[in-house]
Amino acid sequence: MPANKVKLGLIQHSCSENKEANISKAADKIRKAAQQGTQIILLQELFNTTYFCQEIDEQYFGWAQPIPGSMTKQLCALSKELEIVILAPFFEKRAPGIYHNSLVVIDADGTLKGTYRKKHIPDDPGFYEKYYFTPGDDAYRVFDTRYAKIGPLICWDQWYPEAARITALKGAELLVYPTAIGTLPDENRKKEQEFLNAWQTMQQSHAIANGCYVASINRVGQEGDISFWGHSFVSAPFGQIQAEAGTKEEILITDIDLGKIEEQRQIWPFFRDRRIDTYKPILKRFDD
């Protein structure tokens, strides 16, 4: 494959309360993706558990895992064997009483490059994340992996253009958003389509505004009251959806051309024309 071309694999799947079975399912799909030449493999938010944040129950703190830990070691070994980059999001136990919605970036030689912790934490009916997750206090990060410079963000982060911009300014060629989004029982098909449209439009706008690729990975299946509807997708640097999954379990594979990023930023020079001297109000909660 040409130097600028990279093959992405987005893995969307359903989960059960059997964490080991979820890991085995993901590992099997990772192998299948690697057999098709995939170089970077992206997993969904909380890939090894159900989306337990639908309820408040302290038992779920027992599902959290340290970094590094047994699961990250398993993924590092798989990455090294297959020579692939893996982004794996899961429930992290950082210290007693401090838990995060996190992901690890593992390079193609099996090295654990680092961690990103979700910054924006929602608290809504069916999405009680503030009970479980401490907001990430680390910086927005970009990981220079063997195949691309990757800027990871997680789910609720995707609605904030500030997070995308900062990560892109740090050099990200690919913004990655592992996600858990679906509909509740009182939300009809019309609402579901509106949510899907808004979800995709928001991330397409990050691609356009920052002249980079965006990959969003959602889960599927019915878990409790939430119906997760998949539609994982990859947006090109001018917002075109170049690949999209359906509503079932799927390995979505597509090529991205990193050479298009500079070309896009030359034609649409948003970074050049930024008026950084006018942006001070963005540091306020509300400019009243």
Residues annotated as catalytic (active site), given as ranges: 45, 118, 155
The beta-carbon contacts of 56-59 under 8 Å, at least 24 apart in sequence, are: 56/128, 56/131
Q: 234 and 42 in contact (C-beta within 8 Å)?
A: no
Nearest to 117 by CA among 104, 131, 128: 104
Q: 15 and 29 in contact (C-beta within 8 Å)?
A: no
Residue 174, class by beta-carbon neighbours within 10 Å (0-12 exposed, 13-18 middle, 19+ buried)?
buried
Spatial CB neighbours of 143, under 8 Å, sequence gap ≥ 6: 105, 107, 113, 114, 149, 150, 151, 152
Look up residue 155 and give its two tokens. 């789910």
